Structure 1
Amino acid sequence: MTAPPLPARIPVGYSLGSLATGAFGTVPGLLLLPYLTDTLGVAAAVAGFLVLAPKAWDVLLNPVAGRISDRAGVRRPFLLGGGLALAVLFAAIFAGPFRSGVPAATWVALSFLATATAFAFFQVPYVAMAAELTDDYLERTRLMTWRIAVLAIAILISGAVAPLVVDAAGGGMAGHRWMGLFVAAIIVAGVLGVYLGTAGAPVRMAGESEPSLRAQLRVASANTAFRGLLLCFVVQAAGIGTMLAGVQYFATHVLNEEKIGPTVLFACFVAPALLVMPLWRRVGQRAGKPRGMVLASVLFAASGAAMVTAPVVPPALVYALAALNGVGYAGQQVFGMAMLPDCIAYDAARTGRRQAGVFTGLWTAGETLGLALGPGLYAVVLAAFGYVSSTTGTLAQSATARTGVLLGFTVLPAVLVGGALWFLRGYDLTPTRLAGATKEAAV
């Protein structure tokens, strides 16, 4: 029996949480590494570690946050508490009293660690809700289409406007402080939006959880479809994080557009994505979610790799390729997020146990790790190619360093995103199989 469609206010209200996840997922990956290397004067390799380490902490924390919210039996209070803490702590990252050296780097690292902790207690319950708002296979795609559309808006607003805020406020530490407050306001809007927008929403949580976190993790790892999807998404997140970390460097040292280049790239990347959401939804309905995921990933990888020609082609062509890249990214996110609730529903149908939080804890831990690995990988590339850091602003770089900037932004993300599809070869969750699991559980 097909579940009735969700009232329109539920997908819209739920999707508003992506303002918070999109802002936090975008801005640190975009601006934190350049802030460390070109404002605080931290060496590229050290800066990469500082960006990676706090988010790597979430690999351990997110499954715990999922188990806690599973045991609590509710999600929305975590959205409010964790989300408001996230906003305050994010602003603190860029509000340090130290101008350079070890004290400044330590402030950023500790603030980022605290922010990542708060984010875990917001994002894990938020993602878990998607599997509990509806039992319908196609309705989950609708839910994720709304969510990814708002995510694209969040990326556009935070990623494109945040660099402009830095420049408008005079750049340097002062500009970054104002930017931190701007992004914190976006996070608060998303937190209040999802908390109020999902009030009274139907929640279908399964009846019983596994007795221990270790048992829950064992069950999750035994879910073959989930395991393959998770590994694919983590590697692809690393590729996206690598490209995100390189936007400022690519615009400055390859396109020679330090001021406006990052904003134009983001607009080209995100604006088309907003227009193609209905198209990706139809692709999922006709071809299936796994095939849609493959198509979107191939488009992302091909257009990203093609941008390696940026030094010898007109900038307009580079921006057009960035737009195609954004279309592929939109599809990746829609299908990945729509396939995750299917994995959770399949497990719940088989076991009758409530452990969506553990699945989403592992998922968000992996995604967070991947997005953190991206800037770390990009920093390694910068260091290997001889990028020079500074406390006085952007320095002119050698031809070798510019080559590293280019390859890290184009070829490396393409290889990671395209190669990650290998993990999906065994994914086999279809509406028929999900329905069969439900019938078997009922018997």
Structure 2
Amino acid sequence: MSNEARPERAPSRLSLRTIATYAAGSVGTGGYATLPGLVLTYFLTDNLGVAALAAGLIVTVAKVWDVVIDPLIGAASDRQLARTGSRRGFMITGAITLPVFFALTFAVPPSWGPAAGAICVLLAFLGTATAFSLFQVPYVALPAELTDGYDERTRLLGWRVIVLTAAILLFGAGGPMLRRATGDPVTGYLLMGIVAGLAIGVGMLIAARTARASALASPTPSPARLHSADETPRNAGDLGRGMQSRGLREQYLSGFRTLRRSAPFRALLGTFVLQALATGTMLAGAQYVARWVLGDEAAVEILFVALVAPALIATPAWTALSRRTGKERAFLGASILFLIASASIVIAVWMPGVWIYASVAVAGIAYAGLQSLPMAMLPDVISHDARTGGSGQAGTFTGIWTAGETVGFALGATAVSLMLAATGYISTVAGVETVQPDAAVTGIVLSFSILPAVLMALSILPLSRYRLRRSDIDAAQTLPA
């Protein structure tokens, strides 16, 4: 064998403890992503009497704030890693502060009036969003640091999505149950905010332990990581001082350079943002479908069971399929399946009924793949960029990624509120009954069916431009002799 030979190095296998600890963070992710998306717009329009358009604007402003700070948190997380060898500090700060702001978001009583109530909810939700970003941005960066194996990342993220799916079921069904537990909407929302906020914070704190483990993982770095911020570099002090000297403008420009440099990241991010927008519209519209299409506010819990229960079973199947066909092909299959399932719900305009649960269940099977597969592909993109570009700024990648995801979910709620406003939806305060016009009910169905289907179809275009394959990742597992 010549001196140029490059023997393969098998990636380390993650322990069950590491996988379980990391997956616990999805309790927080699932709770934050589910409850505000499910009930916040409804809380504003049907409990505080805020107009639908204004309610959508409140959610959008808070999410735009996320987009502004996420790249900064990502860069700061890279600096913390370079300085201390861990991203743990940011994660713990977010975990401790989020329960407080989350409870305050749902603590506003209708007696304060729509204007004052809207302002208070906006301020509290801005605090919640900031706390969540402090946790989520470094959390998403960890898989690239925990393992460099193509299939091992799928295994790690697959279990994370199983916990995420269970958390969505828990918060999506349990949150509305807590809201009704007191028999009074005002105290019910407060109870929901306190209990859910604490559960989210506990999950985040558990996952923060993984950040310490990631700094110690893989004692023999691969070429992809010799120049990477994903491990503590030998010249960590020099790197830390260099990154600290960068201004805000440079940190934002670094994110744009990342997008320009990495074609796989652009394709994956574009796909994920459009799909977050699609699923965000369904999430924001579920409560309205339950009350005004199915005729029972409590039906939202059944909708969530129909969506999430199949996903618990389907996630391992998507993981297995990705090993046979590649992550990108399995991801395409999940996207097409979700498109078909969501489009079929449009029939409810003319024939509403319990059959909707079947379509939602099929969408739930697809949703498991839409969550696990792109999250397993993101560490591949990060390590590929580190190997080819030598940058290895995982926090910068995940800051942009989290901002994009936030934009998608925020605009999903905005799209629903615009649809409601355009079709004449009537807002009200807690305890006051009203009747919605037929046009508003039609708008609710369209926002839950055709709108997400169209967005999912659009997401397939950037996905078709994703060129990173297993062979590209496996190439990073070789070392010079």
- Structure 2 Cα separation of the partners of residues 314 and 93 of structure 1: 33
Residue 91 in 1 paired to residue 129 in 2?
no
Question: What pairs with 1:63-78 in structure 2 (closer than 5 Å)?
Answer: 63-73=71-81, 74-78=86-90
SS of structure 1 residue aligned to 2:435: coil
Once the two structures are overlaid, the 10-residue window that deviates more, 195-204 or 353-362, is: 195-204
Q: Check whether the contact 2:45–2:51 (CA below 8 A) recurs between aligned residues.
A: yes
Could you give the per-residue CA deviations for residues 96-154 of structure 1, whole angstroms, max 9, x where no partner exists? 35532211100001111111111111000000001110010110000110111111011
In the alignment, residue 382 of structure 1 is paired with which amino acid? L
Residue 429 in 1 paired to residue 461 in 2?
no
Q: Check whether the contact 2:179–2:185 (CA below 8 A) recurs between aligned residues.
A: yes
Q: CA deviation at 1:312?
A: 5.0
Q: Check whether the contact 1:255–1:310 (CA below 8 A) recurs between aligned residues.
A: no
SS of structure 1 residue aligned to 2:355: helix
Question: What pairs with 1:156-171 in structure 2 (closer than 5 Å)?
Answer: 156-171=169-184
- Aligned partner of 1:340 in structure 2 is 378
- Aligned partner of 2:164 in structure 1 is 151
Q: CA deviation at 1:316?
A: 3.8
Could you give the per-residue CA deviations for residues 402-438 of structure 1, whole angstroms, max 9, x where no partner exists? 1011101111011112221101121111121234467
Once the two structures are overlaid, the 10-residue window that deviates more, 196-205 or 266-275, is: 196-205
Q: Check whether the contact 1:162–1:183 (CA below 8 A) recurs between aligned residues.
A: yes
- Aligned partner of 2:69 in structure 1 is 61
- Aligned partner of 1:140 in structure 2 is 153
Once the two structures are overlaid, the 10-residue window that deviates more, 347-356 or 240-249, is: 347-356
2:335 to 289, 297, 302: 297
- Structure 2 Cα separation of the partners of residues 8 and 436 of structure 1: 26
SS of structure 1 residue aligned to 2:71: helix
- Aligned partner of 1:16 in structure 2 is 24
SS of structure 1 residue aligned to 2:75: helix
Residue 47 in 1 paired to residue 55 in 2?
yes
Residue 355 in 1 paired to residue 390 in 2?
no
Once the two structures are overlaid, the 10-residue window that deviates more, 403-412 or 80-89, is: 80-89
- Aligned partner of 1:231 in structure 2 is 270
- Structure 2 Cα separation of the partners of residues 175 and 420 of structure 1: 38
- Structure 2 Cα separation of the partners of residues 425 and 251 of structure 1: 35
Q: Check whether the contact 1:38–1:394 (CA below 8 A) recurs between aligned residues.
A: no
- Aligned partner of 2:290 in structure 1 is 251
SS of structure 1 residue aligned to 2:213: coil
In the alignment, residue 182 of structure 2 is paired with which amino acid? A
- Aligned partner of 2:356 in structure 1 is 318
In the alignment, residue 250 of structure 1 is paired with which amino acid? V
- Structure 2 Cα separation of the partners of residues 154 and 84 of structure 1: 19
Could you give the per-residue CA deviations for residues 146-170 of structure 1, whole angstroms, max 9, x where no partner exists? 1111110110111111111111222
In the alignment, residue 263 of structure 2 is paired with which amino acid? T
Q: Check whether the contact 1:231–1:423 (CA below 8 A) recurs between aligned residues.
A: yes
- Aligned partner of 1:219 in structure 2 is 257
Residue 108 in 1 paired to residue 117 in 2?
no
Q: CA deviation at 1:318?
A: 1.2
- Aligned partner of 2:420 in structure 1 is 382
SS of structure 1 residue aligned to 2:376: helix
Q: Check whether the contact 1:96–1:107 (CA below 8 A) recurs between aligned residues.
A: yes
- Aligned partner of 2:310 in structure 1 is 272
1:373 to 380, 394, 411: 411
Could you give the per-residue CA deviations for residues 36-69 of structure 1, whole angstroms, max 9, x where no partner exists? 0001101111110001111111111001001001
Q: Check whether the contact 2:90–2:134 (CA below 8 A) recurs between aligned residues.
A: yes
- Structure 1 Cα separation of the partners of residues 18 and 129 of structure 2: 27
- Structure 1 Cα separation of the partners of residues 257 and 14 of structure 2: 30
- Aligned partner of 2:453 in structure 1 is 414
Q: Check whether the contact 1:233–1:336 (CA below 8 A) recurs between aligned residues.
A: yes
- Structure 2 Cα separation of the partners of residues 354 and 229 of structure 1: 18
Q: Check whether the contact 1:131–1:341 (CA below 8 A) recurs between aligned residues.
A: yes
Could you give the per-residue CA deviations for residues 170-210 of structure 1, whole angstroms, max 9, x where no partner exists? 24222111110121121122022213466535446254587
Q: Check whether the contact 1:36–1:42 (CA below 8 A) recurs between aligned residues.
A: yes
Q: CA deviation at 1:321?
A: 1.0
Larger radius of gyration: 2
- Structure 2 Cα separation of the partners of residues 296 and 147 of structure 1: 18
Residue 242 in 1 paired to residue 281 in 2?
yes
Identity of aligned residues (%): 42
- Structure 2 Cα separation of the partners of residues 287 and 316 of structure 1: 35
SS of structure 1 residue aligned to 2:368: helix
Once the two structures are overlaid, the 10-residue window that deviates more, 6-15 or 417-426, is: 417-426
- Structure 2 Cα separation of the partners of residues 252 and 227 of structure 1: 39
2:14 to 6, 28, 44: 6
- Counting matched residue pairs gives 441
Q: Check whether the contact 2:77–2:87 (CA below 8 A) recurs between aligned residues.
A: yes
TM-score (norm 1): 0.95
Specify every segment of 5 or more residues in structure 2 that has no aligned partner in the other structure, as ranges.
Answer: 1-8, 219-229, 234-238
Q: Check whether the contact 1:78–1:122 (CA below 8 A) recurs between aligned residues.
A: yes
- Structure 2 Cα separation of the partners of residues 235 and 399 of structure 1: 29
Residue 172 in 1 paired to residue 177 in 2?
no
SS of structure 2 residue aligned to 1:283: helix
Q: CA deviation at 1:314?
A: 7.0
- Structure 2 Cα separation of the partners of residues 198 and 218 of structure 1: 26
Once the two structures are overlaid, the 10-residue window that deviates more, 312-321 or 240-249, is: 312-321
Once the two structures are overlaid, the 10-residue window that deviates more, 79-88 or 265-274, is: 79-88
Could you give the per-residue CA deviations for residues 343-387 of structure 1, whole angstroms, max 9, x where no partner exists? 101011123333100000000000011111111000000000000
Could you give the per-residue CA deviations for residues 227-252 of structure 1, whole angstroms, max 9, x where no partner exists? 11101111110111111011110011
- Structure 2 Cα separation of the partners of residues 304 and 35 of structure 1: 25
- Aligned partner of 2:143 in structure 1 is 130
